Amino acid sequence: MAQKEYDTFILSDPALIPEDREMELIVRDLTPPDIRYKYRSAYVCAMISKSESKYPDRLWIRLGRGQLQEKPWSMKILKELNKFT
Amino acid sequence: MGNYTFYKDNREFIKALESYGELVTIQQEVDWDLEMGAIVRRVCEKRLAAPYFKKIKDYPGFEALGAPLATYTRLAIAMGLNPKTSIPEISDEYVRRTTGNPIPPVLVERKNAPCKDNILTGKDADLFKLPGPMVHDGDGGRYLATWHFVVAKDPDTGTINWGMYRQMVFDERTMVGPVLPFSDMGKMFYGKYVPKNKPMPFATVIGCDPLSGIAACAPSPIPEDQFTGMLMGKPVELVKCETCDLEVPAHAEIIIEGEVIPNVWIEEAPFGEYTGYRTSPREPRTVYRIKAITYRNHPILTVSNMGVPTDEGQLLRSFSLGLEMRKLLESQGIPITGVYMLPESTHHMVVVGVRPAYSNIATQIANLVFGSKLSPWFHMVIVVDEETDIYNKDDVIHALATKCHPIRGIRKYEHSVGTPLYPFADPDDRKWSRGAQVLFDCTFPLDWPKSDLPIKVSFNKVYPKEVQEKVLKNWKTYGFKD
């Protein structure tokens, strides 16, 4: 299965983001099977690493005004969270 | 009621734009993911004809119109005027039409409402079935609603509000966007629904007729559905929504119905904004949950692209803000000669022309406009005397640089209501919508002796009439072309 790609917005100093522990974040799907769903956002519970290869999915980082960071991180989504039930 | 030429829907307007050479029809497929946005952005920056996209990648059957009202020429066409009508003439016509009695809308049956050609409800009401563009690289999401309006109703008075509140697609059934607490819809939602923890029904109207869009931009106290009738000279045709007690323009292209959810926030932004920057922070904002989507056959999405001037948000908001100020100042008997808000200032700077009939008249003008409900959307007032052409940027800059005393002529207003979109504001001020405002008084003090008054040195001012006429008469024979 091809590697999935997501991105997320980091509103604080990326250096302060904890790694390798369950955390909740909003991610956008950049590689959905149906391309019409590109950029669909979701709250997920995930593990993330600043290493590009530690977890199965690639996670691109954007800062608060949309600035794309050069190197991607990696992520494993544990579950999608539904905020409306 | 007036007898005006108007276009009852987006499609008639597109034909009118084409007939006046104000449309470029793009048959080549374009990508909703940045390409369409980039084209619209360049059109705005170059002041070009509106792009009409016939094929959108991944969305067969959908079309899009970009930058529908980004120039005064297209505004004139929308109002049924000659495309070459001057800005002062368009302004006078707008004020004339919108000063009389409001014209309430009429309700039409569903069978006469093209916006009901297709109806999606339940799980079928999926926002990703619509070609919401990724407008700018780095935006927080796809902004389906960039040239549109949101319909809401006051639960106590039944008053209708149409307003342009940007909406970002979050997931299949969720949109999110800023609803500032001092906006009309903000007052309704945060003042009346949220305290009761009640969701507020809404309907987003995309691809409306141009005059409804202009009305939705106008900060008038008259409800926008009636204001549209005043601009049209006859009632706008509305139809009932599928899932709530709201009414929407029957001839619009796309309607999204749902509820604004109290006490739930989702992160929205960043977004390329009307100030020409990506300023307001990504932060938790107002949430819209959708229940239904209705649309015309072969729907035509309207797409605006906010950025450096000039897009329709800047142009129309400047236009209507300035003219509402004109109405306000005239209603107070201030001897103004005109009001013009420069679109290039991203509706931050307004120029007021006045006959300086008494001392400190500029301060009185600033106090009135800064004290009005129009105030959060601009922060610079330039008051000039009647010898300055308020529509001529060169003339205004000349007056500002020569008549405004660097200390006595500038008055600062602190602790104002601002917006999170002000690029100059401190991050904390943006968060709390705090602003500041300033008056530039470009009138000479009345107590100066007449002999001390500087005399403007221009062709029209310092030559006898007979010399001017002689020079003008011989201009071409001197060898000048124009």
Reported as a pLDDT band with limits 50, 70 and 90, residue A3 is confident
The set of residues, in sequence order, having a beta carbon less than 8 Å from that of A18 and lying 6+ positions away, is none
* Residue B58 to residue A66, Cβ atoms within 8 A: no
Positions of E strands within A35-72: 40-49, 57-63
Element (H, E) at B472: helix B465-478
Chain B residues whose CB is inside 8 A of the A38 CB are 33
By C-alpha distance, which of B50, B51, B130, B67 is closest to B296?
A: B130
Touching check for A85 and chain B: CB below 8 Å?
no
Residue of A nearest to B59 (CA): A36
Average pLDDT on B406-422 reads: 95
The set of residues, in sequence order, having a beta carbon less than 8 Å from that of B164 and lying 6+ positions away, is B147, B148, B149, B150, B216, B217, B313
The string of DSSP letters for B188-257 reads: HIIIIIGGGT--EEEEEEES--HHHHHHHH---SS-HHHHHHHHHTSPPEEEE-SSSS-EEETT-SEEEE
* Residue B171 to residue A26, Cβ atoms within 8 A: no
Residue of A nearest to B272 (CA): A65
Q: What is the pLDDT of residue A85?
A: 64
Touching check for B282 and chain A: CB below 8 Å?
yes
pLDDT digits (tens, 9 = 90+) for A15-58: 999 999 999 999 999 999 999 999 999 999 999 999 999 999 99
Per the model's pLDDT, the better-predicted residue between B335 and B281 turns out to be: B335
* 8 A C-beta contact, residue B242 and residue B178: no
* 8 A C-beta contact, residue B142 and residue B131: no
Task: Classify residue B33 by its DSSP letter.
Answer: B
Average pLDDT on A3-9 reads: 96
By C-alpha distance, which of B69, B73, B42, B37 is closest to B53?
A: B37
Q: What is the pLDDT of residue A84?
A: 76
Touching check for A18 and chain B: CB below 8 Å?
no
Q: Is B2's pLDDT higher than 90?
A: no
For residues B60 and B368, what is the distance between their CA atoms, to the nearest angstrom? 52
Residue of B nearest to A42 (CA): B171
Q: What is the CA radius of gyration of chain B?
A: 24
Location of structure tokens 């056959």: B297
* Residue B141 to residue A37, Cβ atoms within 8 A: no
Average pLDDT on B354-371 reads: 97
* Residue B267 to residue A9, Cβ atoms within 8 A: yes
Collapsing DSSP to helix, strand or coil, B477 comes out as helix
The CATH code for residues B10-303 is: 2.30.110.10
Q: Is A2's pLDDT higher than 70?
A: no
Touching check for A12 and chain B: CB below 8 Å?
no
pLDDT digits (tens, 9 = 90+) for B196-221: 999 999 999 999 999 999 999 999 99
Chain B residues whose CB is inside 8 A of the A25 CB are none
Touching check for A81 and chain B: CB below 8 Å?
no
Percent of chain B's residues with pLDDT above 90: 97
Q: How far is CA B161 from the centre of its chain?
A: 15
* Residue B174 to residue A84, Cβ atoms within 8 A: yes
State the nearest Cα–Cα gap between B420 and chain A, in angstroms: 13
Is there a common fold for B10-303 and B332-452? Answer: no
Topology adopted by domain B332-452: UbiD C-terminal domain-like (3.40.1670)
**Strand pairing report for B148-153 and B200-206:** antiparallel
For B19-43, letters b (16+ CB in 10 Å) and e give ebebbbebeeebebbbbbbebbbeb
Chain A residues whose CB is inside 8 A of the B137 CB are 66
State the nearest Cα–Cα gap between B295 and chain A, in angstroms: 18
Touching check for A68 and chain B: CB below 8 Å?
yes
Domain layout of chain B by residue ranges? 10-303, 332-452
Residue of A nearest to B139 (CA): A66
Residue of B nearest to A60 (CA): B138
Touching check for A69 and chain B: CB below 8 Å?
no
For residues B446 and B460, what is the distance between their CA atoms, to the nearest angstrom? 23
Testing the interface with B: which of A36, A44, A68, A82 to mutate, by most B Cβ within 10 A? A36
State the nearest Cα–Cα gap between A52 and chain B, in angstroms: 21
Domain layout of chain A by residue ranges? 5-81
**Position B148: which residue type?**
H
| N-term to C-term CA, chain A | 31
* 8 A C-beta contact, residue B230 and residue B100: yes
Q: What is the pLDDT of residue B285?
A: 96
State the nearest Cα–Cα gap between A38 and chain B, in angstroms: 9
Length of chain A: 85
State the nearest Cα–Cα gap between B155 and chain A, in angstroms: 24
Touching check for B270 and chain A: CB below 8 Å?
yes
Q: Is the confidence metric ipTM above 0.95 for this complex?
A: yes
Reported as a pLDDT band with limits 50, 70 and 90, residue B281 is confident
Location of structure tokens 């593990």: A47
pLDDT digits (tens, 9 = 90+) for B313-331: 999 999 999 999 999 999 9
Location of structure tokens 């940045």: B34
* 8 A C-beta contact, residue B324 and residue B354: no
Average pLDDT on B152-169 reads: 97
Among B270-274, B391-395, B418-422, which stretch is predicted with the lowest mean pLDDT?
Answer: B418-422
Residue by residue, what is the 3-state secondary structure of B105-139?
Answer: CEECCHHHCHHHCEEEEHHHCCHHHCCCCECCCCC
* Residue A38 to residue B140, Cβ atoms within 8 A: no
Q: Considering only the beta carbons, identify the residue of B136, B137, B170 that sits closest to A41.
A: B170
For residues B254 and B147, what is the distance between their CA atoms, to the nearest angstrom? 12
The set of residues, in sequence order, having a beta carbon less than 8 Å from that of B187 and lying 6+ positions away, is B181
Q: Is B280's pLDDT higher than 90?
A: no
Q: Is B155's pLDDT higher than 90?
A: yes
